[in-house]
Structure 1
Amino acid sequence: MGSNTLQHLCHQLPYSALLFTRTNLYKGLYPIPRMKIYPLCFTKQMQTTTYEVVKGSYLETSPTKQENKTKDTAPVTLDTVGAFQKLPMVMPSVDILHSALRKARRVTPTKGIANAAKREKNKGAKHLDALMKELTLPLRTYKENFPNKRLLHPYERSLIELTLGDGNYEQVLGRVDSLRKKVVSVGKELASLCAQSTSKREAEERLAEGLKRLEDIYRSDGKAVDELMQIAKTLRAMPVVDLEMPTLCLVGAPNVGKSSLVRLLSTGKPEICNYPFTTRGILMGHIALSYRNFQVTDTPGILRRRDEDRNNLEKLTLAVLANLPTAVLFVHDLTGECGTSPSDQFLIYQEIKERFSSHLWIDVISKCDLLEEESPILYVTENAEDDNSELVKYRKFGPDGALRVSVKSKVGIDELKIRVHELLASQSERLNIQKPEDTKEASSPRKIFI
């Protein structure tokens, strides 16, 4: 019965009828004996019960079920990029063990215990309990402060999967937490046994046995902590990408000259070598333009093959294009030096262009000082009489509108910088348009992905 119904009934009865009654024997009013009067109070914080129809009947809905339903329908709030830089510093497992043993030795028995046996078993129980807590405190910190991969930004989630291997991150965190639970369980059991000792000697023996057992458990399973330390180092070294900053992503086949262009265009200093897959990760640089900073990323080269056959380096490049709001500078090498034939580069280019058609785009032909327009390079696997007019045209001139540059002779570099600046300005306008109005003035907005 709701509060409105109760109020309605009370208004129908006179207040005096609740307190008094009349009689024919006596004139006037008299109180009803043995009747207690309670005031009626109505508040907004009334407990309510909800029901649901099940097979034609009303069944009460439990609060737990309602809470779970609310949690299931709530959107999941994901962090923006930068989670890796917030990872806690992980100590080597041997350092954690030695520190815990040293601190546990400082434990003294409770003051005022005169009996030697009781004092020893009290000290032993406290010693084991202290060791258990000192060992598990760092592990609990790691468990709580390493982010759930499911709640990471898709870009950083891809970095974890492609850099560490699918599932390895969760497995290591799970093993660290299992070690914590095991130490807690065994430590409590050993402390309890020591507290139940009947003599001083028995308490000392149980303390020694307990210390050895906890140390053996930690040494045996502590490798997970060392693996987590390496994971933290690897992830913390990953480049941070600002989602609010316009970004230029250099893409192309291996060894076409992407890294050399990054060195010219930005503050990034990638490794320059003449072999495939020189870039073994995402390299980040910055461009200063009109008192504003822009990002430039160098990505691993892409080969002509199906997605399921690609290595993790190629998948990393695709993850950047798929998950970050980047403009694309696609680099083509028609000289034959890079190791990927122009025909294969043409097919790679068509695939990437079609897949990421919404990205702003610039095409660049590198090493133009080595090109001979009259006789384009042909690989053994290529057919000079190929009737594909687009491919024939591509071998000689590259894509329509492509800019020819040479890092060695500086040909086209100034024009390339102008084109890049224009592209990044357009990218900046696009990001401002796509950004919600209520977050444009926020200093550190958070994005929600459902």
Structure 2
Amino acid sequence: MPNAVNLKTIQVVPGAKDFIDIVLSKTQRGTPTVVHNGWAIQRIRQFYMRKVKFTQQNWNEKLSAILDEFPKVEDIHPFYADLLNVLYDKDHYKLALGQLNTARNLVDRVAQDYIRLLKYGDSLYRCKELKRAALGRMCTLMKRQGPSLAYLEQVRQHMSRLPSIDPNTRTLLLCGYPNVGKSSMMNKLTRADVEVQPYAFTTKSLYVGHMDYKYLRWQVIDTPGILDRPLEERNTIEMQSITALAHLRAAVLYLVDISEQCGYSITQQAALFHSIKPLFSNKPVLIVVNKIDSRRMEDLSDADRELVDGMVDEAKKISSGGAAAALGGDSEETVLMAMSTLSEEGVMSVKQTACDRLLNFRVEMKVAGKRIADVLNKIHVAQPKPRAGVAAGSRPPVIPAGVAEARARRAAGERKKTERDMQEENGGAGVYNADLRKHYDLQDPEWKYDIMPEIMDGHNILDFVDPDIDAKLAELEREEAELEAAFAEEADAGGGGMDSEDEAAGDLTEEQAADLAAIRARKRVLVGEHRSKKNSHRNQAVLPAKLANARGRTAEAMKSSLGSLGIDASKAAERARSQSRGRKRERSASKARGGEDGDADMGDAGEKKRVHSSKSRSMSRGRSLSMAEPRPGSGLKDVVQRNKGIKMADKAQWRMNKMAKIGESDRAIPTKMPKHLFSGKKPGHSTRNRR
């Protein structure tokens, strides 16, 4: 099928209200939701322009998906095009799709117009109202498409229930009056389970079943019954059969109920055949007489027999035309067949005849086509040539030894002994161990049961092992034991040995030895504390700075501990006190300088005043920055680097703010309850504070 469309994969078409909720909810979740009046106007504009663009893109994507999934009448096979026209009215179907296409274009135009207006919005309120108007117009447009969306959803549901018919494959088409046995024959030929009832028009749509014949897949189509009346008076059920007969290249089986139990006489059935005869052109046709279990062909009256013969003659004329006439085909093919679906008499012969006729017809059509000439030029049939000195038939057939042995065992009533037989003979499961090595395919069969496999040039691992390895290993162990005994004797002779630290301590005085012992004791304590905290230091809380004095971590404690070691820590204590004073120290220092230099001229004083005033203004403007001490471990060594990093971060965020984004990821959803879903009109007024 050109541009094949799978009608069962079309997505659900939501209603107008659900459509609006889906798109607005996605807009609320996919765009920022917080805007402040203090932002720059360009950032506010970008905030609302982004919402309008995002909503327009969602509408466009959703509507485009619907328009692309539904098949275009002009792009699909004529069979499906006419079937759509019969079932859904092609004009109404096109009109619904056209209205959605128009709505998509109008939504794009509305978004374009309001984005142009938002570029010149002068306040947050004006931008918000423009965004509200844009989204409102888009929702109004989609509300008007409610009937079209509902119609397309009904069409989608009906399309998903249609059978998957391949118009180009091998097909048998069953047609005729209602209740003549079409569905019964369908159930006999295929694995389909079509409902069969003893009243007319049980089958109201096309049913498809599949069968296999000559290793090929065939489809069998059961059509609803057709009545003999003008085309314009036929209903939708009958028009489905007419559409299948008109467009499918299939073998047509026209079923005739000769018992007339269907409620229609043979005269009426013959009249229907002649009225729909133009639909059988270029198709192999079979007249299948059904229900011969109730009435045989021999029991027909002369008038009824003439009517059947008339249908057979017309079927032969149809079959003798087209490709068969062009190739000089045989027009004496079997056209009339008899069967009974109740007793299954003749059903398989009808199937074989119909399939063979269709295969021959398809081959004839291909040969009669224009493309066969191009193919024949590329085909060459190779013929074997007899070899010189070898007479024809001098090579008798040869039966392999294994095949001959198997045939002999079979003739003697024996069978090949299997592993299961050997298992039962040798103790059963759990006792018998199957010999898998006998199936090894090696270069030398003697290698199958080698303990060590061959690895290189016919050698295995044992060939490369030193035979005296055990004696040499014992000699090495004996030498090692002698060396250890000699070392122990030397240690005993030297008084138990002395490490390098003890040797160094041997030349010290008593006071120095006492100090060394104290140092070593303190070292052992520190090492023990370190080892005890090594695995648990991560679980200890960080000591706050305000609690440092509680444990003696003060400047006085530092000064006294360093003084005991002979280190002057007075300057470090003064520097710690000066850093704690902060800005007061600078002011006091400037006063001191002013008092000492009181005789300075007014020019210098004015210049200093300007310098201090500008500095104080900058400090007051960025006091939070100037007082921002770098955190330990942050990689910033002083306040200057900390302030520089803050300024760089603000500058990097400026571009994000222009695009109305929270940050680089912009994945946060600050608003957990979108207002458009959880707020509505209130008595006396409406909620106007949506964003």
Q: 2:337 aligns with which of 385, 403, 425?
A: 403
TM-aligned CA deviation for residue 175 of structure 1: 1.1
Q: 1:393 to 1:298 in 2, by over 3 A?
A: same
Q: Which runs of 5+ in 2 are unaligned?
A: 314-334, 376-691
Q: How does 1:189-268 map to 2 (within 5 A)?
A: 189-268=113-192
SS at match of 1:297: strand
Q: How does 1:311-322 map to 2 (within 5 A)?
A: 311-322=235-246
The answer to whether the Cα contact below 8 Å between 2:8 and 2:159 also exists between their aligned partners in 1 is no
Q: Which runs of 5+ in 1 are unaligned?
A: 1-78, 377-383, 441-450
Q: 1:301 aligns with which of 222, 225, 244?
A: 225
The answer to whether the Cα contact below 8 Å between 1:257 and 1:331 also exists between their aligned partners in 2 is yes
Q: 1:180 aligns with which of 100, 104, 108?
A: 104
TM-aligned CA deviation for residue 402 of structure 1: 3.3
Q: Please identify, of 418-427 and 261-270, the stretch whose mean Cα deviation from structure 2 is larger.
A: 418-427
* Paired position in structure 2 for 1:278: 202
1:426 has 2:349 as partner: no
1:128 has 2:52 as partner: yes
SS at match of 1:416: helix
CA distance in 2, matches of 1:205, 1:244: 58
Q: 1:368 aligns with which of 292, 299, 317?
A: 292
When normalised by structure 1's length, the TM-score is 0.68
Q: Percent identity?
A: 25
Amino acid at match of 1:277: F
Q: 2:24 aligns with which of 89, 101, 107?
A: 101
Amino acid at match of 2:276: I
Amino acid at match of 2:343: S
Between 1 and 2, higher relative CO (CA 8 Å, sep ≥ 6) is seen in 1
CA distance in 2, matches of 1:253, 1:227: 33
Aligned Cα root-mean-square deviation (Å):
3.5
CA distance in 2, matches of 1:139, 1:438: 48
SS at match of 1:340: coil
Task: Name the structure with the higher strand share.
Answer: 1
1:115 has 2:39 as partner: yes
Q: Please identify, of 109-118 and 201-210, the stretch whose mean Cα deviation from structure 2 is larger.
A: 109-118
Amino acid at match of 2:4: G
SS at match of 1:183: helix
CA distance in 2, matches of 1:146, 1:188: 27
CA distance in 1, matches of 2:308, 2:147: 54
* Paired position in structure 2 for 1:30: none
Deviations 1:394-448 (A, max 9, x none): 48998586333222222222332332343343344345435644998xxxxxxxx
TM-aligned CA deviation for residue 86 of structure 1: 8.5
CA distance in 2, matches of 1:110, 1:430: 74
TM-aligned CA deviation for residue 332 of structure 1: 0.7
* Paired position in structure 2 for 1:448: none
The answer to whether the Cα contact below 8 Å between 2:273 and 2:311 also exists between their aligned partners in 1 is no
* Paired position in structure 2 for 1:447: none
Q: 1:292 to 1:428 in 2, by over 3 A?
A: farther
CA distance in 2, matches of 1:230, 1:404: 43
Q: Please identify, of 265-274 and 250-259, the stretch whose mean Cα deviation from structure 2 is larger.
A: 265-274
CA distance in 2, matches of 1:406, 1:268: 18
TM-aligned CA deviation for residue 354 of structure 1: 5.3
* Paired position in structure 1 for 2:349: 415
Q: Please identify, of 289-298 and 107-116, the stretch whose mean Cα deviation from structure 2 is larger.
A: 107-116
The answer to whether the Cα contact below 8 Å between 2:117 and 2:130 also exists between their aligned partners in 1 is yes
Q: 1:396 to 1:362 in 2, by over 3 A?
A: closer
Q: 1:130 to 1:420 in 2, by over 3 A?
A: same
Task: Name the structure with the higher helix share.
Answer: 2
1:80 has 2:2 as partner: yes
* Paired position in structure 2 for 1:358: 282
SS at match of 1:167: helix
Amino acid at match of 1:420: A
CA distance in 2, matches of 1:434, 1:286: 29
CA distance in 2, matches of 1:284, 1:127: 50
Aligned residues: 352
Q: How does 1:373-392 map to 2 (within 5 A)?
A: 390-391=303-304
Q: 1:81 to 1:303 in 2, by over 3 A?
A: farther
TM-aligned CA deviation for residue 208 of structure 1: 3.2
TM-aligned CA deviation for residue 167 of structure 1: 1.1
Amino acid at match of 1:410: E
TM-aligned CA deviation for residue 369 of structure 1: 2.0
1:156 has 2:80 as partner: yes
Amino acid at match of 1:97: I
Q: 1:415 to 1:148 in 2, by over 3 A?
A: closer
SS at match of 2:202: coil
Amino acid at match of 1:224: S
CA distance in 2, matches of 1:434, 1:235: 37
Q: 1:438 to 1:279 in 2, by over 3 A?
A: farther
SS at match of 1:83: coil
The answer to whether the Cα contact below 8 Å between 1:84 and 1:238 also exists between their aligned partners in 2 is no
Q: 1:154 to 1:397 in 2, by over 3 A?
A: closer
CA distance in 1, matches of 2:373, 2:78: 23
Amino acid at match of 1:322: A
The answer to whether the Cα contact below 8 Å between 2:293 and 2:343 also exists between their aligned partners in 1 is yes
* Paired position in structure 2 for 1:167: 91
TM-aligned CA deviation for residue 262 of structure 1: 0.8
Q: 2:261 aligns with which of 321, 331, 337?
A: 337
SS at match of 1:189: helix
TM-aligned CA deviation for residue 252 of structure 1: 0.4
TM-aligned CA deviation for residue 112 of structure 1: 13
When normalised by structure 2's length, the TM-score is 0.46
1:92 has 2:14 as partner: yes
The answer to whether the Cα contact below 8 Å between 1:84 and 1:235 also exists between their aligned partners in 2 is no
Q: 1:430 to 1:111 in 2, by over 3 A?
A: farther
Deviations 1:216-252 (A, max 9, x none): 3323324423432332343344333334422111110
Q: 1:287 to 1:439 in 2, by over 3 A?
A: farther
CA distance in 1, matches of 2:157, 2:364: 35
TM-aligned CA deviation for residue 123 of structure 1: 1.6
Deviations 1:19-41 (A, max 9, x none): xxxxxxxxxxxxxxxxxxxxxxx
Deviations 1:135-171 (A, max 9, x none): 1212123334544322322111111111111312211
Q: 1:439 to 1:330 in 2, by over 3 A?
A: farther
Amino acid at match of 1:260: S
Amino acid at match of 1:123: F
The answer to whether the Cα contact below 8 Å between 1:136 and 1:180 also exists between their aligned partners in 2 is yes
CA distance in 2, matches of 1:249, 1:257: 13
